[in-house]
Chains A and B, each alone.
Chain A
Amino acid sequence: MRIFDPHIHMTSRTTDDYERMYAAGVRALVEPAFWLGQPRTNVGSFTDYFDALVGWERFRAGQFGIAHHCTIALNPKEANDPRCTDVLDVLPRYLAKDGVVAVGEIGFDSMTEAEEHAFTRQLELAVEFELPAMVHTPHRDKEGGTRRTLELCEASGIEAGMVVVDHLNELTVGPVDEAGCWMGFSIYPDTKMDPHRMVAILQQRGSLDRVLVNSAADWGRSDPLLTRATGEAMLAAGFSDDDVDRVLWRNPIEFFGQSGRLMLDEMSGEIELTATFEGNSILRGARASS
């Protein structure tokens, strides 16, 4: 089973996790920029964090045979702190980089005006830099937050297929599906979504299109191997190996490949990498041949 975890915060994880993830089949991941648990108080704190996402963490993952990508953004929670909002002005530097495959996590936390301003501005940046957007949906009032999220995305002019709305559950998957956006599911030990509920959603929906399954593992109680557990639950429920590969590997490549900035070209040879996906070159930057 080859796995691309499309949402995991490796900065908060140990090298033991990298080893276990590799053993479980994880060969690529996306680490979205997010809230670190301790509120930041200045822009420099963000830029050092972004530098780590495109520097040290990428190197660290590579040492364990895992291709590391990231998304860059001002997260919704800290969009409420005026000491932090100037970070919006430095985002363009990072959005131009290889391996930065989306603008995110953006979206709502407490549904404030400041959050809406940062969200709207960053959707504009996604359009300007031709990047997908990764949208976090709030823990509280998820339904209301998801509805407003979809309205803002539509108003921004970003293509629905360039947006993943994340942390969905049984009640929020429908509207996101109807809007044509990608649907992200964070499989947690005991909160957002679990492997069996995930399988039930896939069975009920009857299509594996536009579905991303992630562990969203971070500094809280979480488990980087729940992507694998979901793949196993799919197999036990009668899905095929190809279905699992579609959800856990090819779908993330299709979604983030739209950035043109995936860096899977130097992964170990044991994984068969397709250089094109449905005719479109994913691995931009051809190999030098001679």
Chain B
Amino acid sequence: MIAVRLLVPPAALRTALGPDAAGALDEMASTLAASPDRLGRLFPAAARRTSRGPLDGTAHRAEDAVRVELVAAAASAIDGAALLAELREVYRYGDADEKRAVLLALGGIDARSVDASDLLLDALRTNDVRLVAAAMGPHAARLSTHDWRHGVLKCLFTGVPLTEVADLDTRADDELVAMVRRFANERAAAGRPVPADATVLLSTSSSEA
């Protein structure tokens, strides 16, 4: 059994969803607790069976919160290796929304035995900012220093706010700052604006130096 932190507490999510959608979520979650290998079948239709769009009072989307809870239900019944296999399959055949939900679920898994760095790197190769942002959540602690720095730079490049990057304060190092400085210099030389997040990162690091 692997614990998965939810995006939204179960009761609050159900209240927001309303009785019909909450009932559909309960039904899917209990199915997965009994048959976790059904995750790939239930994931694609999860949004249309429940809800889609911003969830009032939270920073999350309804379909993300629902899908992360589905992952948690499946994870309650299997070990890390089996969960990883399921998530890889769901991600591989998922549309962008499903892929994002897998990445968000990974961000809620503290067990170090679950390492889906390969999925994060796949997401970071895309130019879909929703995937890039989700890839730089807490699970990115498993990325190598090299890959993590390039992930941060990709966020700056594609306009993903650095507030989306987990552990930025503790993990930013001199090499990341040097990379961001070169990026900022290149932008300045071209007469193009330097993203505010880059400026903030550079000023913070110089004040600490």
Contacts and interface: CB of A to CB of B under 8 A. Distances in A.
Tell me if chain B binds chain A.
yes
Interface of A: 51, 54-56, 58-59, 93, 96-99, 260-261, 263, 265-266, 284-290
Contacts of B97: 98
* A-B interface, 3 closest residue pairs, ranked by CB to CB distance from nearest: A54-B95, A96-B44, A288-B62
Contact of A98 (B44, B56, B93, B99): B44
B60 to A, nearest CB: 10
A289 B52 contact: no
A261 B55 CA distance: 20
Contacts of A284: 48
B96 interface: yes
18 contacts: A51-B95, A56-B127, A59-B130, A96-B44, A97-B44, A98-B48, A98-B52, A98-B97, A260-B48, A265-B53, A266-B52, A285-B47, A285-B49, A286-B21, A288-B54, A289-B18, A289-B56, A290-B15
Name the interface size band of chain B. 20 to 34
A93 B95 contact: no
Interface string B86-117: 00000001011111000000000000000000
A58 B130 CA distance: 12
Given A58-B95, A59-B130, A288 B48 contact: no
Nearest to A262: B48
Nearest to A95: B44
Contact of B51 (A96, A266, A285): A285
Interface in B113-158: 126-128, 130
B17 interface: yes
Given A55-B99, A287-B51, A288-B17, 7 more contacts: A55-B128, A98-B44, A285-B63, A287-B52, A287-B53, A289-B18, A290-B56
A111 B17 CA distance: 49
A263 to B, nearest CB: 8
A25 to B, nearest CB: 24
Interface of B: 15-18, 20-21, 41, 44-45, 47-57, 62-63, 93, 95-99, 126-128, 130
Given A56-B128, A96-B45, A288 B95 contact: no
A287 to B, nearest CB: 5
Contacts of A263: 52
A192 B127 CA distance: 36
Given A54-B95, A55-B96, A96-B44, A290 B51 contact: no
A59 B41 CA distance: 23
Contacts of B16: 288-290
Contacts of B50: 285
B57 A290 contact: yes
A290 B20 CA distance: 15
Instruction: Report which residue of B15, B45, B63 has the largest number of chain A beta carbons within 10 angstroms of its beta carbon.
Output: B45
A243 B83 CA distance: 53
B48 A261 contact: yes
Contacts of B21: 286, 288
Nearest to A284: B48
Contact of A59 (B47, B51, B52, B128): B128
Contacts of B44: 93, 96-98
Contacts of A98: 44-45, 47-48, 52, 95, 97
